[in-house]
Amino acid sequence: MLRRRVIPCLDVADGRVVKGTRFVDLKDEGDPPELAERYAREGADELVYLDISAAPEGRGTLLDIVERTARRAFIPLTVGGGVRSVDDMRAVLRAGADKVSLNTRAVEEPELVRRCAARFGSQAVVVAIDARRVQPSDAIPSGFEVVVKGGRQPVGLDAVAWALRAVDLGAGELLVTSIDRDGTGSGFDTEQLRAISSAVPVPVIASGGAGGPDDFIAAVREGGADAVLAAGIFHRREWSIAAVKAAMAAAGLPVRLPREAAEA
């Protein structure tokens, strides 16, 4: 049976893991490949690097850490942030990443999704959708509006309609973040997740709001998510990936457990 995935996300700037409320008050948290390897050992099913380098020089450094990560952690790696073209995507994949995630750029230029999927396959293209709750309207019938630029700029686009369009353009997975919940630890927006996961055939990755194992369970059960992504609770070591997966397994969800645990 297909497992529900637990995916730690590492914010990376200029070659280092950083944390902070996205983009402000960044603190250096160490060497990305080292942390990635630790997460892989603890049972991470995949890894996501979100590149938030301010300067363009950060790009070369990112490719270097992708390559070093791919040599140490033999699990799938997705890179988001700063991929602006098919050439950027090629460079990231050649360094050893398996997928790229397109967010603001996909909204600005939807055809980029199609070109990337046509060139590298849908399985390598994740479209990241950041959304917030609004009053349902003719323009936003679902009541979930797409926002870009790290959650700062609403674009007047319905998140469910954009999800369907992204899949049509060739997205193989959707990474759905609730901007209202991101960084709050108050749980995922399961209604937003359900609105999107029930509308599309592709896997949906839940993001934004993880505070504890119960939130991961709710994202899958109530939100219909195939995978659940979190950053802060793993970085701050509030919960280990193993503890989250054990709780999901105890709740009856199919997860990949370490061999020792599986045989116990």
Partner 1 sequence: MSALPEGVRVPVAVVDYGAGNLVSIEQALDAAGAVTHRAERADQIGDPALLVVPGVGASAPAMQRLRAGGFEPAILDWVAAGRPFLGICLGLQLLFETSDEDEARTLGILRGHTVRLDGAPTLPHIGWNQVERRRHHRAFAGIAPDADFYFVHSYAGAPDDEDVVVAETEHGARFTSAVASGNLLGVQFHPERSGADGLRLIANVVRVAGEVG
Which part of the chain contacts partner 1 (CB under 8 A), choosing from 27-35, 73-81, 106-114, 240-248? 73-81
Question: What is the sign of the dihedral through the CA atoms of 155, 58, 13 and 25?
Answer: negative
Binder among 14, 42, 98, 222 for partner 1 (CB under 8 A): 98
Nearer to partner 1 by C-beta: 161 or 202? 202
Q: Does residue 94 interact with partner 1 by CB under 8 A?
A: yes
Q: Does residue 9 interact with partner 1 by CB under 8 A?
A: no
Binder among 12, 70, 131, 228 for partner 1 (CB under 8 A): 70
DSSP string, 129-182: EEEEE----SS-TTSEEEEETTTTEEEEEEHHHHHHHHHHHT-SEEEEEETTTT
Question: What is the sign of the dihedral through the CA atoms of 236, 242, 244 and 245?
Answer: positive
Count helices and strands (H / E) in the chain.
11, 12
Report how far residue 65's alpha carbon sits from residue 233's, in angstroms, rounded to the nearest whole number.
23
- Mind telling me the catalytic residues? 11, 130
Residues 136-155 interacting with partner 1 (rule: CB under 8 A): none
Residues 199-258 interacting with partner 1 (rule: CB under 8 A): 201-203, 226-227, 256
Nearer to partner 1 by C-beta: 54 or 261? 261
Fill in the per-residue mask, 11 to 50: x = in contact with partner 1 (CB under 8 A), - = not in contact.
-----------------------------x----x-----
DSSP string, 29-66: EE-HHHHHHHHHHHT-S-EEEEE--SSTTHHHHHHHHH
With residue 215 as reference, give the H or E element that holds it.
helix 213-221
Residues found near partner 1 in the complex (CB under 8 A): 1-5, 40, 45, 67, 70-71, 74-76, 93-96, 98, 120-124, 172-173, 201-203, 226-227, 256, 259, 262-263
